[in-house]
Amino acid sequence: MKKVVVTGMGVISPIGKSLDEFRDSLKAGKSGVCKITQFDTSGHKARIAGEVKDFDSSVWIDKKDARKMARFTQFAVAGAAQALAQAGLLGADGRINGESERCAVVLGNGIGGFDVVTESFKKLFASGPDRMLPLTVPLMINNEAAGNVSMVYGLKGPAYTQATACASGADALGQALDLIRSGRCDVAVSGGTESCITSFGVGGFERLQALSTGRNDEPEKASRPFDADRDGFVLGEGAGILVLESEEHAKKRGQPILAEFAGYGGSADAYHITSPDPSGESGGRAIKLALADAGLKPEDVQYYNAHGTSTRINDVVETKMIKSAFGDHAYKLKISSTKSMTGHCVAGGGGLEAIASILAIREGFFPPTINLENPDPECDLDYVPNKSQCGEINAAMSANMGFGGHNGVVVFKKYEG
C-alpha cells in the first residue's frame, strides 16, 4: 500500500489567512470570534460568529472569476493556491505543473452557498424569478468548490465533493487518502470549506437551539468547549486545504514532506438526525478504525484535536468516545478544541483542524482550549486549558462529527523518510 504524505497546506480562517498567521494565533490562544458584520443581526438571538476578516479574494483569484464563485468557493480556491504553492506544484502560469490527469480534488462542504441562496430568495420574493441571480444554481451547489479548484489550477483527475455535514472535511481527506493509496492518482487537493454566516444560516441554527446566545457582548468568550458554562457553539467559516501525494511522487520531485497522512476511520451512529449517540460507541469505533488504519496503538498518539463544539451534549459524548477508544491512555493524552478560537467552521473545520494537528507535530506544541475556566465534571480529561503547551508529538489525531451521525477521524505522523 502506498504511503501518503502532506506537501502543502493553505488556510483561510477567522484567526488567519495564511499558514503562518494561523499557527501564531493557535500558539497565542487568539480568538477570532467577533460581532457579526456580514448582515444586520437585529431580531437574532445569536449575534456573534467566527468571521474571516478583511477577505480580499483578488489576492488569489482573478476578479472576473471570483464574481462567478460563492464565498465558500472563493475560500477553497484561495486555500488551494497557498497549498499548491507550498507544495511546489504551480507553474509560471499559475496552473498545475505536472501530470494533471493524475491530480485529484476531493473537498468537503456541508451546506453550499447560503449567501447566494439568501440573496436569490430576497429577489424572488420581492420581485419574482426574473430578478434572481442568473448564476444562482451553479453558485450555490456545494460541488462548485471542487469544480472551481479543478478549473482554476488545471487539475484533471477525479473531482469530488464530500457532504457529511460537519464531518465533511475529515471524510474528504479520508477519500483522498484512499485514492492515492489505490494508485488511482498521485496527488490530491483535499480538505474542507464553508461559509454560511448569513441571516438564513444563523437563523436556522438558532431554531435548533444549537448556538451560543448568552455572550453577545463578549464574543471572544463564547466558544468554550468542555467548560461547564458553555451554552452552544459559535458559527465560523473558512477553509483548510492540503496537498496530499504518494511518498514516491513527492520524493521523485524532491519536495519537502510536512507529515505522513497515516490513517482514517469513519462510522455512522445510526441514532438521530442531529444528536450524537450518547454512548459514544460509534464515534469511539471511528477512532479505533483510524488507529488500526495507521498501524498505531493508543499510546502512540500524543495529541487529539477534538471536534469540541461547545454544545452541552457533544463535549460529554466526545469525552466518552476518547475514553472508549484510548482506555487508560485517555488520561495521558493531550486534547484540545481549536474551535474555541475559530468557532465551528462546519466542513471547513475538518481541513483547518487537520492542519492544526500537523502544525502541532511540526512545531512541537499543543494548541489550547481557550475559555476553559470552569471544567465540566463529566469532561475530566486534559484539554490543554487556556494556554498552549510545548511537547514532542509523533502522532496526532483530528476528529469530526456531523449531523446525521457521521464520524470522521484522521491521523498524521511525524515524517521520517
Q: Which domains does the chain have, with CATH numbers?
A: 4-259 (3.40.47.10), 264-413 (3.40.47.10)
Q: Is residue 166 flagged as an active site residue?
A: yes
- Whether the predicted pLDDT of 205 surpasses 90: yes
CA atoms of 315 and 10, how far apart (whole Å): 28
Catalytic residue among 103, 185, 196, 307: 307
Dump pLDDT digits (tens) for 382-395: 999 999 999 999 99
Mean pLDDT of 73-99: 95
Mean pLDDT of 5-33: 98
Catalytic residue among 103, 185, 344, 406: 344
Q: Where are the alpha helices (DSSP H) in 245-403?
A: 247-253, 281-294, 312-326, 339-342, 347-363
pLDDT of residue 293: 98
pTM confidence score: 0.97
Sign of the Cα pseudo-torsion (92, 97, 103, 106, in order): negative
Q: Is residue 307 flagged as an active site residue?
A: yes
C-alpha cell at 8: 502543502
CA atoms of 73 and 90, how far apart (whole Å): 19
Q: Are 153 and 95 in contact (CB under 8 A)?
A: yes
| Confidence at 312, pLDDT banded by 50, 70, 90 | very high
Query: For the CA atoms of 163, 166, 170, 176, what is the dihedral angle to 10 degrees?
Result: 10
Number of Cα atoms under 13 Å in the Cβ half of residue 99: 9
pLDDT of residue 181: 98
Question: Regarding beta strands 334-336 and 48-49, do their DSSP bridges make them parallel or antiparallel, or are they unpaired?
Answer: unpaired
Q: Which residues of 70-82 are buried (b: 16+ CB within 10 A; e: fewer)?
A: bbbbbbbbbbbbb
Q: Is residue 196 flagged as an active site residue?
A: no
Mean pLDDT of 125-150: 94
Report helix, strand or coil for 86: helix
